[in-house]
Amino acid sequence: MEINKTIVSLIATENRATGIGTCIDALGVNPVTNKNVLIKPNFNTADPAPGSTHNDTLVSLVRKVWDMGAKSIRIGERSFPLTSQVMEQKGILPLLKDLDVDVVNFDTLDKKDWVKINPTDTHWQNGFRVARPVMDAECLISTGCLKTHQFGGVFTLSLKLHVGVVPTTRHGFDYMSELHASPNQNKLIAEINQPFKPDLVLIDGVDAFVDGGPATGQRVKGNLLLAATDRVAMDAVGVAALKMLGSNQTIMHTRIFDHVQIARATEIGIGVTSVEQIELVPATQESRPTRDRVLAQLK
């Protein structure tokens, strides 16, 4: 029986400005034409990439999305410190203004704009809430970083990126205390992803944390970018890339689909269910050796 495969594209490059567009093109899809686009970056803190999304990554992604025919573009985020402070510290606001991009600071949402989600199959005690701009997005693009997570998440790629669409105590809800205290933290992370689906996911691995993280850690040059439309496939390839780079013991000695984030995501139908369903495509001929090294770890 022929297996339907999901493409993850990879480009080996240090150049975010040119690499992002090439990596997206290799997917062979355009979900943004004539759409109002919301981009969710990794602005948990203002730490340098991969502690947060590199400004060049976000600017290059925005330019590519405009080129793909977007009707409008907004950036939406909830940071760990005040979101406005993180964006100011990163110096991203004037860049976004020049690119005609609006900023949706989730800190300023009314309580009614945190949509209550009550899954029937969940490890959350009383469900959770998601920012309405994410739920209502006509086209959602998520862009994260290639890195490990030392505080219970193991890794923070595309699934864990979306913890930033759930409110904190400063919004009047205490979901983060439940998340961080739970023995099922990685299952809760996966379950956050169930109510919505990004149309495009990008991971910046030009720089990577192979231990520590999410804000600071053991930094290496990964010199690669990844693009996909499937969060589970993306995270599986991301973990394989961390293995290729030489990561911590948990990453190196756990089969990819045995990681709880990934296993739970497959159980609740978020994405692919096995490595056999993933096709890792080199975006350029020069990217084939890196693709082959990552592919060798995809097991």
What per-residue confidence (pLDDT) applies to 141? 98
Task: Name the band, by pLDDT with cuts 50, 70 and 90, for residue 285.
Answer: very high
Mean pLDDT to the nearest integer, 131-144: 98
Q: CA geometry: angle at 78 spanning 75 and 80, to 5°?
A: 135
Average pLDDT over residues 161-181: 95
**pLDDT > 70 fraction of the chain, expressed in percent and rounded:** 99
Q: pTM for this one?
A: 0.97
Residue 233 has pLDDT above 90, yes or no: yes
Is it the case that residue 104 has pLDDT exceeding 80?
A: yes
What pLDDT is recorded for position 298? 95
Position 1 confidence tier, pLDDT thresholds 50, 70, 90: low
Residue 152 has what pLDDT? 86
Mean residue pLDDT across the chain: 97
Q: pLDDT by residue (tens digit) across 252-279?
A: 999 999 999 999 999 999 999 999 999 9
Strand partners, 36: 72
- 167: its two tokens: 């409110």
* Mean predicted confidence (pLDDT) in 182-208: 98
CA dihedral (204, 210, 216, 218) positive or negative: negative
pLDDT reported for residue 271: 97
Residue-level pLDDT at 172? 92
- The mean pLDDT of 185-209, rounded to a whole number, is 98
Average pLDDT over residues 204-223: 98
pLDDT at 299: 85
pLDDT at 188 over 90: yes
**Please, what's the b/e burial string for 22-41 (b: 16 or more CB within 10 A of its CB; e: otherwise)?**
bbbbbbeeebbeebebbbbb
Q: How many residues does this entry show for the chain?
A: 299
CB-neighbour burial class of residue 163 (10 A; exposed 0-12, middle 13-18, buried 19+): buried
Query: Cβ(259)–Cβ(149) under 8 Å?
Result: no
Closest CA to 133 of 113, 117, 118: 113
Task: Report pLDDT for 2.
Answer: 60
Average of per-residue pLDDT across 233-262: 98
